[in-house]
């Protein structure tokens, strides 16, 4: 019912997040209405009128127990209901051969691909700034690090949000279900340039991704193959976008 209000979901686990989000939203919405209606009724009922004297009250123990126990129970139930989604998304890592390393810094996302050898920290690694390219319908594992302060990896359409913490490598994953270009802001106030800290994640069809990787990742292994290859439209367009945002 609230789907129109959220960004489009293009993640395999987005529905589970949305379901919890809506449930919490409905509970808080109903509570909000009840509290406000009660408040308005009381404002009218107990308004000042001639001849009316204020009364001192010691409260109502039964009521106080009820409004403490009910929210506590709701919280426990919500926690239990969120366990399956939490354990699937945060506690398990589906098998994949697609791994990227993301190092956040004030105020950019540095995205490193392991190159042909599949290993990080070797000569054929390729690092991009504020852009990530991935194939559609593919589990992407992200090794998330931070170079300075706490940042937060956030892609609303992927329903993915994870803090990047200095000194830690946090492993997360996502699987995008629709090709496109998705905004990738930092969701943790990280300094004066925080508001400008964002990148773009490009989800390609497998063919397109293969082409992009051939031009941008493996070409790097053969140094300076041909500078003339640079202005190919497929490669040039996303770069322009990425740079314009910095």
The CA distance from 180 to 136, in Å, is 9
CB contact burial 106-139 (16+ within 10 A = b; e otherwise): bbbbbbbbbbeeeeeeeebbbebebbbbbbbebb
The CA-based angle 202-122-120, given to 5 degrees, is 50
Segment contacting Cu ion (CB under 5 A): 39-47, 49-57, 84-92, 191-199? 191-199
Closer residue to Cu ion (CB): 14 or 185: 185
Judged by CB under 5 A, which stretch of 12-20, 25-33, 148-156, 198-206 contacts Cu ion?
148-156
Binder among 133, 141, 145, 151 for Cu ion (CB under 5 A): 151
CA distance 9 to 226: 40
145 binds Cu ion (CB under 5 A): no
Distance of CA 171 to the CA centre of its chain: 14
Residues 6+ apart with CB under 8 A from 148: 105, 106, 166, 190
* Site for Cu ion contains 155 (CB under 5 A): no
Smallest separation (angstroms) from Cu ion to the CB of 184: 11
Pick the stretch among 69-77, 82-90, 133-141, 188-196 that binds Cu ion (CB under 5 A). Answer: 188-196
Q: Give me the residues paired with residue 144 across strands.
A: 102, 170
**Minimum distance from residue 108 beta carbon to Cu ion (Å):** 9
CB of 151 to Cu ion, least distance (A): 3
Residues in contact with 67: Cβ distance below 8 Å, sequence separation at least 6, in sequence order: none
Question: Is residue 186 a contact point for Cu ion (CB under 5 A)?
Answer: yes
Provide the total of helices (H) and of strands (E) in the chain, helices listed first: 4, 10
Q: How far is the CB of 104 from Cu ion (least distance, A)?
A: 6
Distance separating alpha carbons of residues 178 and 136, to the nearest angstrom: 6
Could you say whether residue 111 binds Cu ion (CB under 5 A)?
Answer: no
Which of 144/217 has CB closer to Cu ion?
144
Q: Using DSSP bridges, classify how beta strands 170-175 and 160-164 pair: parallel, antiparallel or unpaired.
A: unpaired
Binding to Cu ion by residue 187, rule CB under 5 A?
A: no
Stretch touching Cu ion by CB under 5 A, among 20-28, 95-103, 117-125, 146-154: 146-154
Residue of the chain from 197, 201, 203, 217 that contacts Cu ion (CB under 5 A): 197
CB nearer Cu ion, residue 124 or residue 148: 148
Instruction: Name the residues that contact Cu ion, by CB under 5 A.
Output: 151, 186, 190, 197
């Amino acid at each position: 019912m609230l789907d129109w209000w959220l960004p489009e979901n293009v993640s395999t686990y987005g529905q589970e997040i949305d379901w919890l989000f809506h449930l919490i939203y409905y509970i808080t919405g109903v509570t909000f209405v009840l509290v406000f209606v009660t408040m308005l009724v009381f404002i009218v009922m107990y308004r000042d009128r001639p001849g009316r004297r204020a009364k001192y009250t010691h409260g109502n123990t039964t009521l106080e127990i009820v409004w403490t126990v009910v929210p506590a129970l709701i919280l426990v139930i919500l926690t239990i209901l969120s366990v399956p989604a939490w354990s699937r998304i945060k506690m398990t890592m589906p098998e994949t051969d697609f791994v990227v390393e993301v190092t956040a810094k004030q105020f950019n996302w540095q995205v490193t691909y392991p190159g042909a050898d599949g290993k990080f920290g070797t000569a054929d690694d390729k690092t991009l700034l504020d852009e990530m390219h991935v194939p559609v319908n593919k589990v992407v594992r992200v090794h998330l690090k931070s170079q300075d302060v706490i940042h937060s990896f956030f892609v609303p359409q992927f329903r993915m949000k994870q803090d990047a913490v200095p000194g830690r490598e946090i492993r997360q994953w996502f699987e995008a279900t629709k090709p496109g270009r998705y905004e990738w802001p930092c969701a943790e106030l990280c300094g004066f340039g925080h508001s400008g800290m964002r990148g773009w994640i490009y989800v390609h069809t497998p063919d397109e991704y293969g082409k992009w990787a051939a031009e941008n990742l493996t070409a790097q292994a053969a140094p300076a193959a041909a500078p003339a290859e640079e202005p190919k439209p497929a490669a040039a367009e996303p770069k322009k976008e990425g740079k314009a945002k910095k």
